[in-house]
Amino acid sequence: MKSPTRLFCALFIFLSALVAPLPAITLPEMKAVESKVKTLVAKNMPAVVSLFGEKSSGAGSGVIVSADGIILTAAHVTQGNEEMVVLFPDGKETRCKVLGADYDRDVSVAKIIPVGTYPFAEIGNSDALQPTTVVIALGHPGGFDVRRTPPVRIGRISMTNMGGFLVSDCTLTGGDSGGPLFDLEGKVVGIHSSIAETLTFNRDAPTSAIKAHWDQLLEGKRWGKPGGARAELKGRIRPRAVLGGVFDAESKEGVSVKEVQPKSPLEEAGIRAGDVLLKLGGEDVKTSEAVTAKLRESKPGDKMEIVWRREGAEQMAEVTLISQIEMMKRMGGELGRPSRGERKPEPESQPEPAK
C-alpha cells in the first residue's frame, strides 16, 4: 500500500465531508487513530482474500479468521459452490471448500483446502459497537486487482441493529461483499453483506451473532433462504422517519444531544450538540429508546413539535421529519451498485439449527 499516511489523511478528510462532524479531536488523538489504522491494516491486509466460484457466478471478498485457513464471507458469495478459488492480496492462489451458511444472516464459512498456516485476523466483539464508533472496511471492490491491495475505507457505525445487521457509512461497492469490517483494535466485527442504496449506507453481519452458530457453520450446516436476508432488508429500507442526530446519556429531565447531522431536521430547528431534548410530539422523552420509539410511530413528511433546553432555557420548534435515505443523500451519499453474484435460484428456507 503506497503512502499509508497520505492515504489515511485523504480518506479521513473525504469521509468527514460525507458524515456528521466528528467531536473535537486534538492532533495527538488524530495521530493515535492514524497509528492504530496503519497497524491494523499492516497486520490484517494479508488475510483479506478474494473468492471466485466456478460452478456459479458467485464472487466477492472474505477474511481468514484462523491459522488453519477458516474463511468468513457472505453467504450470497459462496451460494451454488462447493469449492471456490481463493486469491491473496499478493496474487497467490489456492482453493477452499465451502462449509456452512446462515442465509438469514448472509454469512458463510469456508476452509482452505491445502493444509498449512495462513495469515488471519481475530474475531472481535461486535456487541461493543455504538453509533459513531470508528470502523475500517477492507475488501476487493470491483473484484481482485493485481495492481493494488484491498483499499482501506474508514467510517463510522450508523446503526447497531437494523434487522439484526450493523450499518456503517464506510464506502463500499460491488466485490466488497464478504469482506471484513474492523474495529480500531484490529478485530473483525462485521462481514459486508448488502451493498445497498447508497455507497455509504451498507450492512454487515455482526460477528457476535455469527459466533452464536459457529460450531454448526464449521460442521457444514446450512439454513435460511438464500437471498432472503438481502431481500428482507431491502424491504425494510422503507421510508423511515429520522431527526438526524445522535443521542447520548439520558437524564431525569430528557435526552442529551451528542451530535447533530448537517442539513438535518434538528439542525434546521436550531438544535445543537449539548442541548437536552425534553419533548417530541407532545410526549416527554427521557431515554434514547423513547426517541426511537416516537420516530418509529411516525413517517417522513410528518411535522413534529420539539421542546429542548439549552443553558436552562426551554425552546420549541416544529420540524418536518425526513427519511433515512433522504438524510444520507443530504450528507453526500451516492447511488450504489448491487453486489455481484445475486442472480441465483433460491431454494426453500431451511430451519435454523439448534444451538
> What are the pLDDT digits (tens) for 57-82?
678 899 999 999 999 999 999 998 99
Q: Is the model's pLDDT at 235 over the cut of 60?
A: no
Higher pLDDT, 288 or 53: 53
> How far apart, in whole angstroms, are the C-alpha atoms of residue 148 and residue 144?
9
Q: How high is the pLDDT of residue 192?
A: 93
Q: Is the model's pLDDT at 249 over the cut of 70?
A: no
Nearest to 137, CA basis, from 21, 32, 15, 30: 15
Q: How high is the pLDDT of residue 231?
A: 47
- Residue 194 pairs in a beta bridge with 203
- Mean pLDDT along residues 220-227: 84
How many beta carbons lie within 10 A of that of residue 185, not counting itself? 13
Question: Which residue intervals of the chain bear CATH 2.30.42.10?
Answer: 244-320
> How far apart, in whole angstroms, are the C-alpha atoms of residue 71 and residue 108?
8
Q: Is the model's pLDDT at 230 over the cut of 60?
A: no
Lowest mean pLDDT among 12-16, 37-41, 42-46, 241-245: 12-16
Task: For residue 37, give the H/E element and its range.
Answer: helix 27-44
Q: How high is the pLDDT of residue 236?
A: 42
Lowest mean pLDDT among 137-141, 232-236, 249-253: 232-236
C-alpha cell at 338: 448491487
pLDDT band for position 229 (50/70/90)? low
Q: With 0-12 CB in 10 A as exposed, 13-18 as middle and 19+ as buried, what is 184?
A: middle
Q: How high is the pLDDT of residue 250?
A: 60
Task: For residue 179, give the H/E element and its range.
Answer: none
Task: For residue 196, give the H/E element and its range.
Answer: strand 188-198
Q: How high is the pLDDT of residue 26?
A: 75
Q: Is the model's pLDDT at 355 over the cut of 80?
A: no
Would residue 3 be called left, alpha or beta, if left means φ above 0 and alpha means ψ between -120 and 50 degrees? left
Q: How high is the pLDDT of residue 303?
A: 92
Q: How high is the pLDDT of residue 161?
A: 83
DSSP 3-state of 284: strand
- Mean pLDDT along residues 100-119: 95
Handedness of CA 195, 196, 197, 201 (dihedral sign): negative
> How far apart, in whole angstroms, are the C-alpha atoms of residue 129 and residue 222?
28
Angle at 193 between CA 191 and CA 197, to 5 degrees: 135
Q: For 33-53, write each residue's pLDDT tens digit.
A: 888 899 999 999 999 999 988
Angle at 29 between CA 27 and CA 188, to 5 degrees: 140
- Mean pLDDT along residues 273-286: 89
- Mean pLDDT along residues 158-187: 89
Would residue 6 be called left, alpha or beta, if left means φ above 0 and alpha means ψ between -120 and 50 degrees? alpha
Q: Is the model's pLDDT at 274 over the cut of 90?
A: no
DSSP 3-state of 101: strand
DSSP 3-state of 132: coil
- Topology of domain 1-238, per CATH? Thrombin, subunit H (2.40.10)
Q: Is the model's pLDDT at 234 over the cut of 70?
A: no
Q: How high is the pLDDT of residue 227?
A: 64
CATH assignment, 244-320: 2.30.42.10
C-alpha cell at 53: 466460484
Question: Which residue intervals of the chain bear CATH 2.40.10.120?
Answer: 1-238
Q: What percent of the chain has pLDDT over 70?
A: 76
Q: What percent of the chain has pLDDT over 90?
A: 41
Higher pLDDT, 187 or 3: 187
